[in-house]
Structure 1
């Protein structure tokens, strides 16, 4: 690089030292900035501590490795083509380098001299995978579409980020619950201290995430260490209900320690990383229903009582987020892609198995809800008496309708109602667009193709997809600036059209969940 090229690269002085970024895609990018010390050696399984300051100018042109995880973009996925790779990344798969030394963030900004809204992005990946860096996440596109300073931070995933302290000597590790959540709060503190140096407004910070990232946002609403560090929140395909009880989290961690071959967290602190990664995958439920319904074994947020004192839904209901406007989105066919990819393993044995899943989700009258889904699926009037057993494909589709509601759409409605009942504001939307055309559904992660501006790259740059991109980007852009995405605040009693915005080929206001389904769920207030 010549002296003139080096001089042309922007330099920003953070609270820890100076960083030199690069010009990229109509803006500026500063990659791989440490916001906490490397969580390795004696800091493995410990809460994040401040990064060490440095002298001189640190190069910020190279993206950091993803947190330690098994790669999600396998040769088999790559062989299926760019659409399959795009879907895998939309579901949280990452590729490239991985490292325990991962607590770095990336900043994309239109102008370091501005005072723009700040969006902190939290990636998804079932709390087991994900990254804050391209190609899985490209903050440049989101910054251009929203006009915001976008900050994406790595956080620890899998057991290293979400185990629950248990076993001999666990009293010395009490502060090590919800480490991934604590990493996210540490990144928010960095943003609070440094946003203005990158053209952002530290008084207008929105924390946003999808899937596990959205469930993280829901937990941050109740996290004492995050209080006052953000001012608005966007939850896409996630809410506040995907929280493990201490008992289930403890049992999962005990199984994990046994699988690693250690008896305590003290021993785990020096265990080989490969054994940790293999073990953490072996002790969780693999089926999308079992892992996400109450009692499922999966890594993620734990109501531990210390780091996270209250269950997030209870905290929101008690007013914890009254001063934080919420934008809550879901996709119409959240589980569709898992049903397609799951094959025979996704299909339940019979209708009784689906009824058992509904009972597990707390449905009061599973038979009535099943019939409501059957009517929607078949487009027919209800039949008196017990209907005939569903054929295999219909049973699969009935389960997909149910799980889409149970895991994503109904919890999103519960969060909106709790926020409004407590005196806060919430706006809700439902994505109905099918990025790959009829038959694919508005699947989990579909929004990333629009907010990440991936239409041309995936050869899906159609008029309908461009219109959806504009609808979604406009809503996020307005919300970041004004807390108003452009439609009425959520009101579950609003007749006759509802107050949830349908985003896609037929934009309008709807009831969410639809009235024929909502009647069978306990949606709270």
Structure 2
């Protein structure tokens, strides 16, 4: 048996690698031209064809990013990163396609192992798994339109534009890899799920996917043009230039250093009113509206949703607290909450969190609030709004008590991919100490791939207000939000995450005033 398999696409011939346990990998396929030189900070351009047969057996580097927990310390990054990877059981047939969009706060991430490995999901679910790199940080989300004039009007949200480009590539090419271009499911965690929310609101992405799995979606973390322009101006100041076109010649290392200095302090502050970071911008062209607004208007009713969050989202970040940062006081936390959801709701939520966790410090209760505000409530409201607009949705809650982490942010991702015990996974020892990890991984993989096949992950469709939220890792089903905080969240008055909207669009609240 040959150790390679060949396919032909319009760009040219590809040789993929036959995997030891079955299936074929095609890695490092360009879906756009390298965004370097004159194409840096410009929309993705169609890939160029190649002569001969291209070796697609090895993964290529992820996009430039600062060192962090997402990648092994010796990882080499490159601006020439717009590549797609395909894991397929067989190049013949028409299987459901699952397209992974990595998270990482729009600043880190990789489409390659050990961060992303589609082997187990591909084999276990008889699906074609696709991953790809997209631009992140300032290179993917710096907003130059306001400070650079009309010449830069089409350069907003380059990371999102990369995602649309790869979805078009999949539409045109995936049949050659054994995938069904009419049965595409996008799935992503954290920023990846937030990006899916944006794709739902983007006319250019319409019709390119039929199902979406949103795992902990921060759909309210979208910045106004004014905030994004301030961030862009500071980036230019940090690297010592005055005009956007000069960024084309700035060493990428200088851009990475400068982008870290320009953002708000912690992950929570970035999502609160006044916060800023790299991420989607409501520019009115690439992203014309907020995700929840698009869902409420019925624009996404033809896309089936599987949406959920983790019980203890932000508590994971307690492990990475900086010792030189003074812990917040109760008054400071309440002030942040009031600025976000209104005084009355803030007071009621604070009391509810204190009852649920009487020994919780102000810092701990702040993390409880942020977990709900950034992830759990958006997931719940997205599901409710989609149902009310005529769509179908299933909702879940990840609630496994992983040792030392609980159901922290992102702890379910390795279970969904079946790579939870891979020694390269930084949480492998945590999963090894939790006796239910193997069974839970099988359950989540089965649910995700069943949803890709049929739109049904295996439990009751969601109905607003019903106790139908499937629970992974604990008893269920449950209602979301929990009874203890349902009424305060129902009363919450959201301050606008986006300060102003482009002409022709109604004001955009971070989360709409729908019932919870």
Q: TM-score, normalised on structure 1?
A: 0.89
Q: How far apart, in 2, do the equivalents of 1:410 and 1:94 lie? A: 34
Deviation (angstroms), 1:406: 0.8
Q: State the SS of the aligned residue for 2:489.
A: coil
Q: 1:36 aligns with which of 23, 32, 37?
A: 32
Query: Aligned in 2, Cα 1:241/1:349: closer, same or farther, shift over 3 Å?
Result: closer
CA contact (8 A) 2:190 2:215 kept: yes
CA contact (8 A) 2:416 2:448 kept: no
Q: How far apart, in 2, do the equivalents of 1:465 and 1:241 lie? A: 31
Q: 1:484 aligns with which of 449, 456, 459?
A: 456
Q: State the SS of the aligned residue for 1:473.
A: helix
Q: 1:401 aligns with which of 368, 380, 403?
A: 368
Give the equivalent residue in structure 2 for 1:59: 55
Q: State the SS of the aligned residue for 2:201.
A: coil
Q: State the SS of the aligned residue for 1:10.
A: strand
Quick check: 180-189 or 484-493, which moved more?
484-493
Q: CA RMSD in A?
A: 1.8
Q: How many residues align?
A: 484
Q: 1:369 aligns with which of 329, 332, 349?
A: 349
Unpaired segments of 5 or more residues in structure 2? 423-427, 491-512
Q: State the SS of the aligned residue for 1:128.
A: coil
Q: How far apart, in 1, do the equivalents of 2:248 and 2:201 lie? A: 29
CA contact (8 A) 1:19 1:59 kept: yes
Q: 1:175 aligns with which of 148, 154, 157?
A: 154
Q: 2:243 aligns with which of 264, 268, 271?
A: 264
Q: 2:222 aligns with which of 224, 229, 243?
A: 243
CA contact (8 A) 1:492 1:511 kept: no
Query: Aligned in 2, Cα 1:490/1:251: closer, same or farther, shift over 3 Å?
Result: same
Query: Aligned in 2, Cα 1:168/1:425: closer, same or farther, shift over 3 Å?
Result: closer
1:173-211 Cα offsets, whole Å, 9 max, x none, are 110000000000000001001111111111100011111
Q: How does 1:324-473 map to 2 (within 5 A)?
A: 324-344=303-323, 348-363=327-342, 364-378=344-358, 394-435=361-402, 437=403, 439-457=404-422, 458-459=428-429, 460-461=431-432, 463-473=435-445
Give the equivalent residue in structure 1 for 2:502: none
Q: 1:213 aligns with which of 159, 171, 192?
A: 192
Deviation (angstroms), 1:15: 2.1
Give the equivalent residue in structure 1 for 2:267: 288
Q: How far apart, in 2, do the equivalents of 1:288 and 1:426 lie? A: 28
Q: State the SS of the aligned residue for 1:335.
A: helix
CA contact (8 A) 1:94 1:130 kept: no
Give the equivalent residue in structure 2 for 1:81: none
Give the equivalent residue in structure 2 for 1:520: 488
Q: How far apart, in 2, do the equivalents of 1:208 and 1:164 lie? A: 26
Q: How far apart, in 1, do the equivalents of 2:151 and 2:73 lie? A: 33
Q: TM-score, normalised on structure 2?
A: 0.90
Q: State the SS of the aligned residue for 1:233.
A: strand
Query: Aligned in 2, Cα 1:469/1:272: closer, same or farther, shift over 3 Å?
Result: same
CA contact (8 A) 2:309 2:398 kept: yes
